[in-house]
Amino acid sequence: MEAWTRLLGLHDVDGLADAEPDTPRYKLLHLPARLVRHTRRRVLKIPDTWPWRTAFTTCWQRLSELPAVT
């Protein structure tokens, strides 16, 4: 999973595109966020001070835009 995440979502992010498998797992999957409910929707609140915030959101948007497997 980490290899595909790096290839599809982090291909141009400095420091994470060519990183070892443990690095993206540590930096992106261990995020200090809160999942809150607001108007019947779930919102992920990520602190502005977290250094990999833009890398996570960019990767999430890219992977969300991929077509579904049929």
Cα–Cα distance, 58 to 14 (Å, whole number): 13
Mean pLDDT of 49-66: 90
Question: Distance between CA 31 and CA 27 in Å, rounded?
Answer: 7
pLDDT mean over 46-63 = 90
Amino acid at 52: W
- Structure tokens given for 20: 């070892």
pLDDT in tens, 4-41: 888 888 888 888 888 887 887 788 778 889 999 989 99
Whether the predicted pLDDT of 2 surpasses 80: no
The pTM of this model reads: 0.76
More confident position, 58 or 25: 58
pLDDT at 25: 79
